[in-house]
Amino acid sequence: MNNLFKILGEKQYVLADGATGTNLFAMGLEAGDPPEPWNISHVDCIRALHQGFVDAGSDLILTNSFGGNSFRLKLHNLEDQVFELNKAAAMIAREVADGAGRTVVVAGSIGPTGEMIEPHGLMTAKQATDAFKEQTEGLVEGGVDVLWLETMYSMEELEAAIEAVEQFDIPVCATMSFDTAGKTMMGVTPAELAKRSQGLGLFGLGGNCGVGAADLLAAIIDINRNMTDDTIIIAKANCGIPEFHDGSIVYSGTEELMAEYAHLALNSGARIVGGCCGTSFDHIRAMRKAMDEHEMNDLPNLQEIEENVGELSAGSKAILTGQSATVKKQRRSRRTR
């Protein structure tokens, strides 16, 4: 049985992992350098990254392969190592997961190409699909349980990626990254993602990265409202809000904040919850505790989100207030039980 199905049978709520990039920088990866070569040159560091999250309680870990497509690797003259780097990424995560003594899912991380599909850019949809297919071949060979498209911002590129990954007999999950306007960089709203992805065969769907944890919750609520089937919802928020300090980005989220975010993400309808940029092992440990103790409650409203995890951007406020009638209706009906 596939480990993703297995864990969903074992647990009501599944805890994903935290940041890859932020934690690798802490281990010495230089800004601007690609993390994927570390799957071969720094195996111990990548193993320690996965082991840290598994020890903190993660049920699902993402491979170190986010930028492992030929378009991204070409920027570092590594485009002929796509298969090898992705296979290595999957094998390290597989080894840690299989040694955990409990079910841990290995998700093969696939990020965007960084190019735009024509007419916005020079890449054709077929070139995108071919690149994603090449990357997926390596991840599948290395033993991933699920293919995990993340931080996507263009519906066209997401569809090109799905066309590539659906050729493999493995479940597919996808998350998009929404910014302060409540949309992706290419203008996709959470509601549109939910509607347009119906029928694409995704097993899980949701949001990751973007701005802060509060904004991600607004996106999850919007996806939940607009979904008509039983696709699993995924929330993988940044650890608080990114802030510039002395020329580098730091994340403001505390362990308490990420624990609150985990509670609210579950109440918003997510079943797989994790952290994105800035999320450390300690944050994941706090989220594990929160999720183990969680009691399902009402869909959170704007005020509850802002009080517990921080201020919402204007775009997220519009998403929540534009639909406030729906929120009130649900809250009333819950109280009458």
Instruction: Give least dist CB 272 to Zn ion, A.
Output: 16
Query: Which strand ranges, in their side-by-side order, compose the sheet holding 204-209?
Result: 14-15, 272-275, 232-237, 204-209, 172-176, 146-152, 105-110, 60-62
| Cα–Cα distance for residue pair 17/52, rounded to 1 Å | 9
Q: What are phi and psi of 268, to 5 degrees?
A: -85, -5
| Cα–Cα distance for residue pair 197/174, rounded to 1 Å | 10
Burial class of 12 by CB neighbour count within 10 A (0 to 12, 13 to 18, 19+): exposed
Q: Check binding of 277 to Zn ion (CB under 5 A).
A: yes
Instruction: Give least dist CB 154 to Zn ion, A.
Output: 17
Residues 6 or more apart whose Cβ sits within 8 Å of residue 25: 31
With CB under 5 A as the rule, give the number of residues binding Zn ion. Answer: 3
Binding to Zn ion, residues 146-165 (CB under 5 A) = none
From first CA to last CA, the distance across the chain in angstroms is: 38
Residue owning tokens 């919750």:
217
Contact at 8 Å (CB) between 18 and 274?
Answer: yes
Residue owning tokens 């979904």:
227
Instruction: Give least dist CB 279 to Zn ion, A.
Output: 8
Stretch that binds Zn ion, among 132-140, 180-188, 212-220, 269-277 (CB under 5 A): 269-277
Stretch that binds Zn ion, among 191-199, 273-281, 300-308, 325-333 (CB under 5 A): 273-281
Instruction: Give least dist CB 150 to Zn ion, A.
Output: 9
Instruction: Give least dist CB 175 to Zn ion, A.
Output: 10
H or E, element range at 207: strand 204-209
Instruction: Give least dist CB 329 to Zn ion, A.
Output: 33
| Cα–Cα distance for residue pair 84/265, rounded to 1 Å | 36
Nearer to Zn ion, 265 or 276 (CB): 276
Nearer to Zn ion, 218 or 277 (CB): 277
Instruction: Give least dist CB 41 to Zn ion, A.
Output: 23
Over the window 200 to 219, marking each residue x when it contacts Zn ion by CB under 5 A and - when it does not, the resulting string is ---------x----------
How far are the Cα atoms of 61, 155, 160, 272 from residue 82, in angstroms, in the given order? 20, 24, 18, 28
Stretch that binds Zn ion, among 132-140, 181-189, 227-235, 270-278 (CB under 5 A): 270-278
Nearer to Zn ion, 141 or 179 (CB): 179
Binding to Zn ion, residues 21-60 (CB under 5 A) = none
Which stretches of the chain bind Zn ion, using CB under 5 A? 209, 276-277
